[in-house]
Amino acid sequence: MCDQVFLSSIGLAQRPFCRPSSPPQPLRSFCCSPDAMGNACSNGCFAMLGGNPKAAELRACKEEIKTLIETRNCHPILVRLAWHDSGTYDQRIKDWPQRGGANGAIRFDPEMNMGANAGLDKARGYLETIQKNHPSVSWADLIQLASATAIEMAGGPVIKMKYGRVSVTDPSQCAGPASREGFKGNAGLPDAAPPFGCGAQKPEEHLRNVFGKKMGFTDQEIVALSGAHTLGRVFKERSGACPFGYGEQSASKYTKGNCIARKDGKSGVGMVGGGAWTKNWLTFDNSYFANYKDAMDDDDLIWLPTDEVLHNDPEFKKYFYKYAGDQNAFFQDYALAHKKLSELGAKFDPPSGFEI
């Protein structure tokens, strides 16, 4: 896997005042009904008082995340951190937090130290300062906010996220590596290449075991989410799935320090090295689909068995080629799948969540 809001409340001041008709009617005929007033207050009282304080705190976090990404070029690893927090989710387990998912558990060592999460301690470190500045924001929310913001800043869709996730509070609440039925380790997180931890012999079977059977995604959603490989890189020191590693000498020709990969054309690649799926690996677009033949033919790009199967499997390839030819369709479907991923296994307070 690669190193990978809702609408604000509507205030009462924005609601039209009731006006008396002519000739004047009894007072009750032009006053808002109790039900209408109740709904207005539930939707708008926070706005009258300056907004939901939790939402305001998250908006402040988002501004700090934007500064972090702008200076560090760390979009991909923030996406990967959030995906791997959510990725422990098992729909076959009903209790929280045992079911895993977007609960902030990845910040604790039992999950952080799983092999699939190699290198993600750096992303945790990036967010620790922001969380200390905003202690009322849960780690679970902060991790998912950072991922959605990274996608947006790389040129991808604005994802209509829901917030209010409750975080686990100690390492004992982490998902154990071998806690997922049918998976040998990593709490059922996906593998880039064989041997697959779920015992699958083919990559399409592995993808469906992880994202379908365990996490509840459809084939279409699996392909849409795979498009996030337009961002980020693989490192031989982490997954071992490519020959490219840390530093200038081990970088591919597309991941050296002088490469231009950002959507805005500015310089800066963050940490140098690794191998990418696309040439512009700090830009979120549909090039993962549209330019896959370049990746297959270029020794300096990455194309793994779990990528190749997407344009060969009879079901997967319907969506792969659709997104290759229609970036708007990809963005629309990706945003929905990303939102779903960000909410897997989460417990919200309030139960309906809130927008920022």
Per the domain annotation, does 29 fall within a domain?
no
Within 8 A by CB and 6+ apart from 210, the residues are 188, 189, 190, 198
CATH code of the domain containing 324? 1.10.520.10
C-alpha span between 84 and 96 (Å, rounded): 17
Q: Is 320 domain-assigned?
A: yes
pLDDT digits (tens, 9 = 90+) for 217-233: 999 999 999 999 999 99
Is 311 part of the annotated catalytic residue set? no
Residue 193: its pLDDT value, please? Answer: 87
Ranking 11-15, 40-44, 190-194, 199-203 by mean pLDDT, the lowest is 11-15
Q: Looking at residues 103-113, what average pLDDT do you find? A: 98
Question: Does 191 fall in a domain?
Answer: no
Question: Is the pLDDT assigned to residue 82 strictly greater than 90?
Answer: yes
Of 333, 276, 244, nearest in space to 75 by CA: 276
Is residue 127 assigned to a domain? yes
Question: Is residue 169 very low, low, confident or very high in pLDDT (cuts 50, 70, 90)?
Answer: very high
Q: For 30-74, what is each residue's pLDDT tens digit?
A: 344 444 444 444 444 444 445 799 999 999 999 999 999 999 999
- Which pLDDT score, from 0 to 100, does residue 89 have? 98
Q: What is the pLDDT of residue 239?
A: 86
Q: Is residue 8 part of a domain?
A: no
What is the reported pLDDT for 46? Answer: 46
Name the least confident of 85-94, 169-178, 187-196. 187-196
pLDDT digit string, tens, across residues 328-354: 999 999 999 999 999 999 999 999 999
Among the options 84, 206, 229, 311, which is catalytic?
Answer: 84
pLDDT at 98: 98
The count of other CB atoms within 10 Å of the CB of residue 307 is 20
Query: Is 311 within a domain?
Result: yes
- The answer as to whether 187 is a domain residue is no
The domain tally of the chain equals 1
Structure confidence at residue 104 (pLDDT): 98
Averaged pLDDT for residues 199-213:
98
Instruction: Summarize pLDDT for 174-192 with one digit per residue, the tens.
Output: 999 999 999 999 999 999 8
For residue 15, the model assigns a pLDDT of 36
| pLDDT tops 80 at residue 313 | yes
Q: Share the mean pLDDT of the chain.
A: 89
298 vs 55: CA distance, rounded Å? 45
Task: Please tell me the predicted confidence (pLDDT) of residue 47.
Answer: 42
Dump pLDDT digits (tens) for 253-298: 999 999 999 999 999 999 999 999 999 999 999 999 999 999 999 9
Give the residue numbers spanning the domain of 233.
Answer: 55-176+201-343
Confirm whether 91 is domain-assigned. yes
